[in-house]
């Protein structure tokens, strides 16, 4: 083992969350409650997981903070942006994810978290109607205003480091356009020309964060940092980026369950997934243009795990062209269920001599309860990566994300297989801790 070269986690870590809704307030409340010893951060890898380092007689199982210097929960300071002016306490109550008894003990701290006006364009989320919005005339003005917010927050709260996390709604689908999104200079020109079609508000947040020396994490399926222009900016600023879309319910099931079918060499003729949820996320996704963004992210998981070209007998049948199993994803807005979403999966498989079988999975999950620990881990690990001098796309964080970023311009394929993703995560922690990355990803 060599000694870890990661800079220590000294001083306060500011976590600026875009969005102050169910996910953000559940995340903040949980961290504040855990700090008081009134809750446990269950589901968080950085707080619970143990990784083997060394082999043979040198083998040890250590928590992440025993291998690498991870920021303490006590050092976190929260801030946010939102189109609605309600503070984090009011939003947490309104979201109805957590019981009042689990919010009240940290009421004062939550009330102090008041959202800064959001950089917002109603065309990107037509179902949202808040008035806590910056009066920016152009996309470049948005960038400048957000940079000023980050600098002011850092100074006022005495933070030594900042991480920016997107936990806001899914924007309408922005197809990657080579003329605008393939170089930083072209993207900057588009921002200055106020090209609202190709430059989403989320891109302004990412640009502002990276330019201010803050890692940026995309927790929705937005195109945002998943473009060569942003990779170029991340290289230039030497900042980590990660995305996209928190892997909470159905895709978590898919990325963990489909390897079972593949490992056992069973065939797949179709996988139908449908969801019902009633929170603000569901409301926004009820708009077809916003659902399209989510659909692209949810559909990509299976195809990189169960590959028709590698095993044509097992996965080469099912749809009209008879080249691949049939894969369909649906999300239905259903207000009575609020944040307690439900995912149904119907999986049509076949076995020996082609005989058909079925698997049904019904996951009655809580969206924000599953997302909150991901928010914590992504923020702490992005901060760690920045202190370790790792910049650009952090592929080791794909474990937490539905549609992991990858360099599609070079034909690279995302790793969606949960256990391969976990190996990447463990190896990265080992390397940053000065140990050997000693597991194969195969």
CATH number where 145 lies: 3.40.50.720
* CA gap 429, 384 in Å, rounded: 9
* CA gap 74, 109 in Å, rounded: 13
18 domain-assigned: yes
Check whether residue 75 and residue 58 sit in a common domain.
Answer: yes
Q: What is the pLDDT of residues 312-341, one digit of tens each?
A: 899 986 555 556 899 999 989 999 988 898
107 domain-assigned: yes
Nearest to 347 by CA among 357, 336, 335: 357
Q: Pick from 319, 346, 364: which residue ends a domain?
A: 364
204 domain-assigned: yes
68 domain-assigned: yes
Alpha-carbon torsion angle 60, 63, 66, 68, nearest 10:
110
Check whether residue 311 and residue 357 sit in a common domain.
Answer: yes
Q: Pick from 313, 332, 364: which residue ends a domain?
A: 364
Check whether residue 340 and residue 403 sit in a common domain.
Answer: no
Check whether residue 267 and residue 306 sit in a common domain.
Answer: yes
pTM of the model: 0.94
Check whether residue 345 and residue 328 sit in a common domain.
Answer: yes
Q: What is the pLDDT of residues 112-164, one digit of tens each?
A: 999 999 999 999 998 888 999 999 999 999 999 999 999 999 999 999 999 99
CATH number where 269 lies: 3.30.360.10
pLDDT of residue 298 exceeding 70, the answer is no
308 within 8 A of 261, measured Cβ to Cβ: no
Q: How many C-beta neighbours within 10 Å does residue 355 have?
A: 9
4 domain-assigned: no
284 domain-assigned: yes
Q: What is the pLDDT of residues 162-198, one digit of tens each?
A: 999 999 999 999 999 999 999 999 999 999 999 999 9
442 domain-assigned: no
pLDDT of residue 294 exceeding 90, the answer is no
Check whether residue 34 and residue 121 sit in a common domain.
Answer: yes
User: Which residues fall within 8 angstroms of residue 308, CB to CB, at 6 or more apart?
Assistant: 315, 316, 323, 324, 325
The total of structural domains in the chain comes to: 2
User: Which residues fall within 8 angstroms of residue 21, CB to CB, at 6 or more apart?
Assistant: 82, 91, 95, 167, 168, 169, 279, 280, 281
Range of the domain at 63: 12-246+368-432
62 domain-assigned: yes
Q: What is the pLDDT of residues 3-46, one digit of tens each?
A: 678 999 999 999 999 999 999 999 999 999 999 999 999 999 99
Q: What is the CA radius of gyration of the chain?
A: 21
55 confidence band (pLDDT: 50, 70, 90): very high
Check whether residue 105 and residue 211 sit in a common domain.
Answer: yes
Share of the chain above pLDDT 70, in %: 97
């Amino acid at each position: 083992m060599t000694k870890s070269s990661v800079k220590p986690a000294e001083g306060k870590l500011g976590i600026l969350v875009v969005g102050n809704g169910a996910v953000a307030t559940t995340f903040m409340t949980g961290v504040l409650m855990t700090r008081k010893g009134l809750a446990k951060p269950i589901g968080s890898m950085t707080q619970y997981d143990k990784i083997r380092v060394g082999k043979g007689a040198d083998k040890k199982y250590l928590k992440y903070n025993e291998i690498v210097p991870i920021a303490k929960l006590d050092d976190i300071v929260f801030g946010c942006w939102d189109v609605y002016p309600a503070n984090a306490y009011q939003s947490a109550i309104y979201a109805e994810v957590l019981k009042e008894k689990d919010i009240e003990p940290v009421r004062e701290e939550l009330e102090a978290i008041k959202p800064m006006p959001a950089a917002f364009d109603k065309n990107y989320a037509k179902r949202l109607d808040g008035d806590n919005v910056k009066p920016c005339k152009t996309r470049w003005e948005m960038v400048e205003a957000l940079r000023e917010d980050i600098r002011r927050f850092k100074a006022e709260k005495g933070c030594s480091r900042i991480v920016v996390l997107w936990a806001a709604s899914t924007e309408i689908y922005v197809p990657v356009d080579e003329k605008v999104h393939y170089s930083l200079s072209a993207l900057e020109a588009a921002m200055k020309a106020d090209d609202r079609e190709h430059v989403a508000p989320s891109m302004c947040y990412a640009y502002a964060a990276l330019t201010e020396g803050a890692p940026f994490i995309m927790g929705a399926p937005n195109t945002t940092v998943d473009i060569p222009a942003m990779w170029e900016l991340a290289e230039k600023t030497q900042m980590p980026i990660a995305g996209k879309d928190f892997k909470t319910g159905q895709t978590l099931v898919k990325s963990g369950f489909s390897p079972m079918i593949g490992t056992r060499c069973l065939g797949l003729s179709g996988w139908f997934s449908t969801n019902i949820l009633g929170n603000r996320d569901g409301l926004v996704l009820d708009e077809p243009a916003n659902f399209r963004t989510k659909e692209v992210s949810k559909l990509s998981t299976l195809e990189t795990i169960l590959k028709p070209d590698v095993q044509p007998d097992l996965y080469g049948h099912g749809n009209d062209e008879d080249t691949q199993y049939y894969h369909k994803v649906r999300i239905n807005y259903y207000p009575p269920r609020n944040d307690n979403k439900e995912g149904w999966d119907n999986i049509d498989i076949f076995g020996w001599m082609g005989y058909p079988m079925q698997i049904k999975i019904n996951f009655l999950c809580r969206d924000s309860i599953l997302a909150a620990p991901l928010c914590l881990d992504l923020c702490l690990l992005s901060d760690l990566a920045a202190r370790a001098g790792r910049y650009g796309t952090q592929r080791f964080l794909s474990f937490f994300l539905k549609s992991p970023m990858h360099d599609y311009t070079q034909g690279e394929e995302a790793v969606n297989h949960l256990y391969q993703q976990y190996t990447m995560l463990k190896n990265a922690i080992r390397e940053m801790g000065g140990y050997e990355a000693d597991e194969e990803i195969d």
